[in-house]
Structure 1
Amino acid sequence: MSNILSVFNPPQQRDLDESETLDCLPCQVMNSMLALGFGSYLVSGRAFKYSTKDTKAGISLKQFEKSNPLWWKSSVKGFGAGLIVYGIVRGTEGWVWNKEKKYQPLS
């Protein structure tokens, strides 16, 4: 059945067994790396770098600073710091803390 049709006519509910709900190790690693990488990008401030692309578009430095106020830059950097913390917590789950966690078998 199509995914769109399943919204209007959902399939019958069923109980999931434990193996279907386990986390997978590659998913955890990718999740952690993405959070660490994007969080580092946001914390570094490179998202708000005034470049030659902005100058060619006719945006002055004063307009650029006006469209990216300090409170916005701080909020984005704070979100980036939160992503870094999340990446560390997610990456260390299973071998530093929560050692009883079970993963899907690699096939």
Structure 2
Amino acid sequence: MSNILSVFNPPAERNFNEEENLDCLPCQVMNSFLAIGFGTYLASGRAITYSDKDKKKGVTLKEFERRNPLWWRNSIRSIGGGLLVYGVIRGSEGWIWNKDKKYQKLT
């Protein structure tokens, strides 16, 4: 059944066992790598730099700075820093600060 039809005709409710509610280790690793990678990209400022691509489009430096004000550039870099911190915390969750965490068994 499609997801759209599930909204109007939801499937029967079922109880999840404890094993199904646990985190999976590959999901945690991918989540951590994605957050660290994208956070590094945003925090570095490369997402909001004046480049040759902008020059070819005819955007001047003054126009670029008007379109991307300082508060916006600082916000992007702060979000990147937050993602970086989140990635490190998420990646170290099971082996540094929450050693009793249980994961789903890989089958």
User: TM-score when scaled to structure 1?
Assistant: 0.96
Residue 53 of structure 2 aligns with an amino acid whose one-letter code is K
Matched with 1:56 is 56
Matched with 1:4 is 4
Note if 1:46 corresponds to 2:46. Answer: yes
How many residue pairs are counted as aligned between the two chains?
A: 107
Structure 1 stretches of 5 or more lacking a match? none
For 1:64-88, what per-residue CA distance to the aligned partner results, in whole angstroms no more than 9, with x for missing partners?
0111111111111111111011001
Matched with 1:70 is 70
Secondary structure of 1:95's counterpart equals helix
Superposition map of 1:1-107 within 5 A: 1-107=1-107
Q: Which runs of 4+ in 1 moved over 2 A?
A: none
What is the distance in 2 between the residues matched to 1:94 and 1:51?
41
Residue 73 of structure 1 aligns with an amino acid whose one-letter code is R
User: TM-score when scaled to structure 2?
Assistant: 0.96
For 1:23-69, what per-residue CA distance to the aligned partner results, in whole angstroms no more than 9, with x for missing partners?
00000000000000010001100011111111111111110011111
Percent same amino acid at aligned positions?
66
What is the distance in 1 between the residues matched to 2:30 and 2:48?
26
What is the distance in 2 between the residues matched to 1:58 and 1:8?
50
Aligned-CA RMSD value: 0.8
What is the distance in 2 between the residues matched to 1:97 and 1:55?
48
Secondary structure of 1:94's counterpart equals helix
What is the distance in 2 between the residues matched to 1:52 and 1:12?
56
Secondary structure of 2:96's counterpart equals coil
